[in-house]
Structure 1
Amino acid sequence: MSKRPVFPSPVVLTSSEAVASLCETLRHEPFVTIDTEFVREKTYWPKLCLVQLGGKNDVALIDACAPGIDLTPLANLLAEPSCKKVFHAARQDLEIFLHLFGRLPVNVFDTQIAAMVAGFGEQVGYDSLVGAITGQSIDKTHRFSDWAARPLTKAQIAYASADVTHLRVVYCALRDQLKEQDRIHWVEAEQAILTEEKTFRPDPRRLWEKLKARTNNRRMLAILREITAWREGAAQRVDAPRQRIVRDESLLEIAAVKPRTASDLARIRGVSSGLADGEMGKELLNAIIVGEAVSEDELPVPPSRKKADRPKVPQGVVALLKVLLAARCETYRVAARLVASNDELEQLALGETDLPVMKGWRRDVFGQEAQLLLAGKVVFSIRKGELHVEAPSL
């Protein structure tokens, strides 16, 4: 448990000149800790309100709502390859910066991923991680503050700055532990997904799958695919939440009923007459027509049919794989969800080998022994109440 660290007093930056000066200083440091506060309840795109930055001698909160403030220096800091950008649970922050600056930050380190690799459990929260590493507690009272309201209170400033001050201690501790465990390359492999823009820009024509329509009617699914993709584009265009354009349940009913006219569309529960009679209504009706015209060979396949077409999974074998996975993850003190998903275990049980779990560090931790288990060469035993795994030398 670390001694309570002493952090610099936080400052709130409201001018472009102050932002430029700070970012010029920070980009020469080996790492900077970063967090954001935003609101998103009434918009599709998150509205950035605050950017917290923690440097060696600086704790600063950039007021992104300040009139006329220029965040270009922040974009340049995020693009600086020699300075590591440290986040906790980085995805939402990276999405914000991608939308704001048109590019992702480079040289990113996510302490949530690192904590799972280092043995702190499944998807550990920031406050829990701070407590485990420093012994300090974080006051999360202002987690749901209205960050767009001004002026910021002293309590909000203290809360926001804590998200980047303690993170410096957490990062250094995790970095040193991972180096000692020789697992830095594990973290780098896991973070590769955070360097791809498609991670934050999902294919609109795949979003229908999230609605989990309970039907095998492929024509209905084709319509659902088109109208769900239309809604995504409309929500982005007018910067409104998806559900405020058309709710999920309404999309499912539209795909089933296939309204032809604005008046038919207005009869769908959750569709206002204003939307049905307006330009969006015309676009939605056109998307239905497009879905109806999809050729037979291009109709989407129901997820339930995909699963039904898969050979029967031997559940006893999957159960043994889960036992081996739990044992190996306990030995290596790494979160099981990072090593293999349930779907991968089922595919392993069916004899498939072209899987992430059979590559890189996952193969060393689990994949090789999983294949030996499937070949009947692994023995489980209980000794003094503990599970032991015996396998041929690899």
Structure 2
Amino acid sequence: MEDKKSKIKIAVTLISLAAAAVTIAFTAAHYRRRRKTRSSCYLHAEGKPQFSFRRVLADNSFSHFKHLKRSSASKENGSNLHPYEQEIKALLEKPPVDFKLDSTGWNSKVSSSYVWVETESQLKELADLLSNERAFGVDTEQHSLRSFLGFTALIQISTRTEDYLLDTIALHDAMAVLRPVFADPNICKVFHGADNDVLWLQRDFHIYIVNLFDTAKACEVLSKPQKSLAYLLETYCGIYTNKLLQREDWRQRPLSAEMLEYAQTDAHYLLYIARCLIEELRQHDIDNSTSLDEKPHYVVEATRRSNMICMQVYTKEIDLYPGEAAASSILSRHFDVHEGSSTSSEKQPQDLVRRLCTWRELMARVHDESLRYVLPDQAVVSLAENVPTNLTELSQLIAHVDHDADPVNPNCFLPPLSSVVTSHLDDLFCLIQEKESKLDDIISIILQTCLGENGSCPLSIYNYALLANCDFKLTRRTVSKQNGIRGSKKASRKGSRARQHFVEKFSCKSPVYHNCRIFADDGRLLCYCDRRKLEWYLRRDLAKLVDDDPPTIMLLFEPKGRPEDEDNDFYIQSKRNICVSCGEGGHYLRYRVIPSCYRIHFPEHLKKPPFS
């Protein structure tokens, strides 16, 4: 009996060793191929407008979105609570009905006269001007094809007397100037179909709307046959617009004359249309005031529905596993998936679809591209059904897919081969050919190959935090349907004790090492460090040198935390690397402070940061 148990134990050990050997072999082969055929990532040569931003509120990592923290005493930072919830609730309880949308001085036709706002001083002047208005119209233009989460490329604001076009690419880091105006409950902001605009403004600028009038909601209350802005422009203003221009690439500068006219038109007529709709709502109230049974308050209902939109809060959609939702959707639409299917012929396409969707999502996050730009769904299906045997066949299968117009931007056609696929074709082929390694290991390899110490892709403000979230094994182990995240309270208590002790003992109170200093982009001292870490930031264009003696750099991005913050995301290390948020230990290092873009939560082969 004991001999039988020993044999079983030996057999299990041998199987485990064999599986580990396969993974190691794949990793080694992958890196050998990478060294031989490594091609430079297209991002080294192709500039993207969003890479000029110094700070983004929603990066491409798997971390949750943090909403505006209005008070330093508030403990709700990072929660999904709306920072202006009380103000909006007050408007819902007592909806404003005394709209004074004065049309004095309003020009019924769009002229070529508008104000292009592209400097911070111009933006501050506009904020001062808007603070004295009773109402103004707002519209936004978005770009999503060449960005993972998308970003606001233009904002149009119209008052009674002037139209303003805000270059939000140039002004991205200064848009906080408009927060007080948009959150002022005494100023009415007129939108059309604001459901998405409200979320986009939160995502990009922490701008929250308080006191909104949505002309689309007014159309609902009035039971209009249509509620599109094109319908309202035609009905009330006699204006016809080409809505296909909405799908243009709003990143381009300068914008074409046709695009500028379209953008100006969308906001210019909003105040006039709102005034017309409010008059109709009031007329309905008068016409129904004689009813003895009920008195529908049309104006109240329209404003209530409008302000309900303001209660939305932006959240990042994060799957339990990268590409999981997309893979499930593709399998349900294109493959006959049966529960409990186990034969290799049935399982192989399913596994390949999941691998491709995982690779696609990670590459989209790394390069800040949309999923449909990196690899359309049709290409995923084609590769799963016809597994390529060489690089040429791989390229042809993707290129010969029926590349229709982008479903989100019908006026924009997708390229046969995206820049991501072209730059990383060898990696994609290795992924398709490899059938044994676990998906967890492949994810780590992809991230290390792209963003590791010798990674092929440049770090950016959008992808620098990705490596901090790459331990998906830990995520999958700790998630329970019944109990949520196991051990979270214990980790929180442990992290709290660690934070208090190490922040007091090791925060940057005195110079250490080579007296090299790191400043935030606003000029505040973050920490002292050695020369190697300073040079690491400079080599990757993440900082600029501001002084030689002592060596001092200024970060070109906003770190996610400051050493003095209570809820900081910095990680303070003693002789044993301790994360002050969860108390977990890591490898041995000397005293220093490092930012959250390289936390200690790495798989074993990623554990050591490149500057350690």
Q: Does 2:127 align with 1:6?
A: no
Q: Percent identity?
A: 20
Q: Per-residue deviation at 1:78?
A: 3.0
- Structure 1: distance between partners of 2:281 and 2:238: 22
Question: What pairs up with 1:193-212 in 2 under 5 angstroms?
Answer: 195-197=311-313, 201=317, 205-208=324-327, 210-211=329-330, 212=333
Q: Per-residue deviation at 1:178?
A: 3.6
The equivalent residue for 1:217 is 338
Query: Could you tell me which amino acid in structure 2 is paired with residue 245 of structure 1?
Result: V
Q: Contact 2:202–2:208 (CA<8 Å) still a contact in 1?
A: yes
Q: Per-residue deviation at 1:101?
A: 1.6
- Structure 1: distance between partners of 2:364 and 2:218: 34
Residues 27 and 226 of structure 1: is their aligned pair in 2 closer, same or farther, counting only changes over 3 Å? farther
Query: Could you tell me which amino acid in structure 2 is paired with residue 131 of structure 1?
Result: E
- Structure 2: distance between partners of 1:117 and 1:160: 27
- Cα offsets for 1:63-109 (capped at 9, x unmatched): 23447872221344333343333222334433432331246534333
Task: Give the alignment's TM-score, normalised by structure 2.
Answer: 0.39
Q: Contact 1:80–1:106 (CA<8 Å) still a contact in 2?
A: yes
- Cα offsets for 1:21-73 (capped at 9, x unmatched): 21232134333211123444433343533211012333211123447872221
Runs (5+) with no aligned partner, structure 1? 299-394
Q: Contact 1:38–1:48 (CA<8 Å) still a contact in 2?
A: yes
Residues 21 and 121 of structure 1: is their aligned pair in 2 closer, same or farther, counting only changes over 3 Å? same
The equivalent residue for 2:239 is 137
Q: Contact 1:30–1:83 (CA<8 Å) still a contact in 2?
A: yes
Query: Could you tell me which amino acid in structure 2 is paired with residue 113 of structure 1?
Result: K
Question: What pairs up with 1:370-389 in 2 under 5 angstroms?
Answer: none
Q: Contact 1:52–1:60 (CA<8 Å) still a contact in 2?
A: yes
Q: Per-residue deviation at 1:192?
A: 3.8
The equivalent residue for 2:297 is 182
- Structure 1: distance between partners of 2:355 and 2:132: 48
Secondary structure class of the residue paired with 1:197: coil
Alignment partner of 2:251 out of 127, 130, 148: 148
Q: Does 2:110 align with 1:110?
A: no
Q: Does 2:278 align with 1:278?
A: no
Q: Does 2:264 align with 1:161?
A: yes
Question: What pairs up with 1:181-330 in 2 under 5 angstroms?
Answer: 182-183=297-298, 184-185=300-301, 188-189=304-305, 192=308, 195-197=311-313, 201=317, 205-208=324-327, 210-211=329-330, 212-218=333-339, 228=357, 231-252=360-381, 269-270=397-398, 275=424, 277-278=426-427, 286-287=438-439
- Structure 2: distance between partners of 1:273 and 1:10: 42
Alignment partner of 2:190 out of 62, 78, 86: 86
Residues 188 and 289 of structure 1: is their aligned pair in 2 closer, same or farther, counting only changes over 3 Å? farther
For the pair shown, the structure with the greater C-alpha radius of gyration is 2
Q: Per-residue deviation at 1:240?
A: 0.7
Q: Per-residue deviation at 1:253?
A: 5.9
Residues 208 and 103 of structure 1: is their aligned pair in 2 closer, same or farther, counting only changes over 3 Å? farther
- Structure 2: distance between partners of 1:103 and 1:205: 31
Q: Contact 1:24–1:73 (CA<8 Å) still a contact in 2?
A: no
The equivalent residue for 1:15 is 119
Q: Per-residue deviation at 1:191?
A: 6.7
Question: What pairs up with 1:55-94 in 2 under 5 angstroms?
Answer: 55-66=159-170, 70-94=174-198
Residues 146 and 68 of structure 1: is their aligned pair in 2 closer, same or farther, counting only changes over 3 Å? closer
Question: What pairs up with 1:29-40 in 2 under 5 angstroms?
Answer: 29-40=133-144
Query: Could you tell me which amino acid in structure 1 is paired with residue 274 of structure 2?
Result: Y
Higher helix share: 1
Residues 197 and 187 of structure 1: is their aligned pair in 2 closer, same or farther, counting only changes over 3 Å? same
Q: Contact 2:192–2:229 (CA<8 Å) still a contact in 1?
A: yes
Task: Give the alignment's TM-score, normalised by structure 1.
Answer: 0.56
Q: Contact 1:94–1:105 (CA<8 Å) still a contact in 2?
A: yes
Residues 163 and 280 of structure 1: is their aligned pair in 2 closer, same or farther, counting only changes over 3 Å? farther
Q: Contact 1:275–1:281 (CA<8 Å) still a contact in 2?
A: no
- Structure 2: distance between partners of 1:45 and 1:194: 21
Q: Contact 1:89–1:111 (CA<8 Å) still a contact in 2?
A: yes
Alignment partner of 1:26 out of 122, 126, 130: 130
- Cα offsets for 1:298-329 (capped at 9, x unmatched): 9xxxxxxxxxxxxxxxxxxxxxxxxxxxxxxx
- Structure 2: distance between partners of 1:17 and 1:85: 23
What is the number of residues matched between the two proteins?
Answer: 291
Query: Could you tell me which amino acid in structure 2 is paired with residue 278 of structure 1?
Result: D
Q: Per-residue deviation at 1:278?
A: 3.1
Q: Contact 1:32–1:84 (CA<8 Å) still a contact in 2?
A: yes
Q: Per-residue deviation at 1:19?
A: 0.9
Residues 119 and 57 of structure 1: is their aligned pair in 2 closer, same or farther, counting only changes over 3 Å? same
Q: Contact 1:193–1:199 (CA<8 Å) still a contact in 2?
A: no
Residues 194 and 79 of structure 1: is their aligned pair in 2 closer, same or farther, counting only changes over 3 Å? closer
Aligned-residue Cα RMSD (Å) equals 4.8
The equivalent residue for 1:53 is 157
Query: Could you tell me which amino acid in structure 2 is paired with residue 26 of structure 1?
Result: L
Moved more, 165-174 or 134-143: 134-143
Moved more, 9-18 or 85-94: 85-94
- Structure 1: distance between partners of 2:309 and 2:154: 25
Query: Could you tell me which amino acid in structure 1 is paired with residue 251 of structure 2?
Result: A
Residues 60 and 228 of structure 1: is their aligned pair in 2 closer, same or farther, counting only changes over 3 Å? same
The equivalent residue for 1:359 is none
- Structure 1: distance between partners of 2:429 and 2:189: 41
Secondary structure class of the residue paired with 1:243: helix
Q: Per-residue deviation at 1:198?
A: 5.2
